[in-house]
Amino acid sequence: MVEAKQELVCAWLIKSQHDLDTAHQIAGLPGGHLDAAIYHCQQAAEKALKGFLAFQDHRLERTHDIERLVTLACSYESAFADWVDAGITLTPYATAYRYPGEPGMLEPSRAEFDDALRASEGIIRCVLSKLPPELELP
């Protein structure tokens, strides 16, 4: 694999891991701050999928739509089809809960956060399972 491509894919995966770590840490704070934690679940999945698509030499687009990214990943690897529903779950968290005054958006429940975390971790596991070992994170 070309070194520049490997560096790009690894950079996406590292950013994904940072977001996932941040989600875990924020959710563990007193009071939970689940609104911020759930956003990082979405971001972690988004960045992992963009890393997979970069590995496939797919031209990356500026989108936060996880369902779309999963669908694009399916065109390279059918195993991603199992994660479309997770993409549907995660996509709204790119913007939900981020700004005050959004109707009906106060704070996610612990169950909602846990579902988002499971969805994000599942997508990330799928991505990592479809990449060569030299792209594994330290």
Q: Could you tell me the end-to-end alpha-carbon distance of the chain, in angstroms, rounded to an integer?
A: 18
Two structure tokens written together for 138: 């330290």
Q: What is the pLDDT of residue 77?
A: 96
Q: What is the pLDDT of residue 80?
A: 97
| Residues with Cβ within 8 Å of residue 69, at least 6 apart in sequence | 46, 49, 50, 53, 63, 87
Write out the chain's pLDDT in tens, 138 residues. 588 899 999 999 999 999 999 999 999 999 889 999 999 999 999 999 999 999 999 999 899 999 999 999 999 999 999 999 999 999 999 988 877 766 666 789 999 999 999 999 999 999 999 999 877 665
Q: Would you say the pTM of this structure is higher than 0.75?
A: yes
Structural domains of the chain ordered from first start: 3-15+41-133 (1.20.120.330)
